[in-house]
Amino acid sequence: MAVRGFRISVTTEKGLALPKVTEKLKNPSVIEAICELRFAGGISYTILPGAMRERLKGKFPNFEVLPAAFMSAFSLPASVAFHRFKSSDSPFIVQTGPGLLTINVLPGYPSFAAFRDVILYALGQFREIYDPGTPTRVGLRYINHLQRRTEKRELKDYLRMVMQYPIELEKQPQEISARFTFPYGSVGTLALAIGFPASTDRGAFGALLDLDLYRDNPQFELNRFPEWLDEAHDVIHGAFVSSVSTEVMTEMRG
């Protein structure tokens, strides 16, 4: 639920240098990570699912046809996944649709290096079949659920953000949600969203921190995509470290 009429200040260190090497946390907060590429060109999509299934079956033997594949293209938003490739012993999922490739990581996020390897592997297979041309959108997104060993009930216990409420209000809000966008030049735009309180499907209490770095019409060839991916991850990691409270970071480090 969005809370109206509130002023939010973000307390981050000015001029924080974005790290080129990220530490591996003992207790990571990532509940899902997504890399998405969209394209306008390419051959007919009908050829792609079978060819991708054959190429990916060694790493992703389980193949699913998603409900969107049976619906009219006119009733669907742009870039919807039609097919899914996964493995029962891996947190990674590859999805395809007309002009779309996504690589997802579900709980059990290993490391950016491992995620990056799967992204580039799936993209390499996709390119050999589809010849998609220049991407129309690229994105890297990390959805985090921040927790404390001892349950805390204030936003500042999880994030370095301060909420200031109008003094005329008699009560504090039950829920808080906010979204900020930050320009990062040629890398793209970072959308930072928070939700508090936020619970997982197992009932764990905490705060949601959603970091989505995207660039529309990037106008670069796919050979440059690995470089963009590294730059995007550096931005996201820097924003993550700047936003999370010291106590939560300490607990995640173990």
Q: Give residue 70's pLDDT.
A: 79
Q: Give residue 11's pLDDT.
A: 43
Q: Give residue 116's pLDDT.
A: 97
Distance, CA of 194 to CA of 25 (rounded, Å)? 21
**pLDDT tens digits for 97-143?**
989 999 999 988 999 999 999 999 999 999 999 888 899 999 999 99
pLDDT by residue for the chain (254 residues), tens only, comes to 333 333 444 443 333 334 455 678 888 999 999 999 999 877 788 889 999 999 999 999 999 999 888 775 555 555 789 999 999 999 999 999 989 999 999 988 999 999 999 999 999 999 999 888 899 999 999 999 999 988 788 899 999 987 777 878 877 788 899 999 999 999 999 999 999 998 877 668 899 999 999 999 998 889 999 999 999 999 999 999 999 999 999 999 98
Distance, CA of 224 to CA of 202 (rounded, Å)? 40
Quote the pTM value.
0.88
CB-based contact 202:176 (threshold 8 Å): no
What percentage of the chain exceeds 70 in pLDDT?
88
Among the listed residues 20, 215, 237, 198, the one whose alpha carbon sits nearest the alpha carbon of residue 109: 237
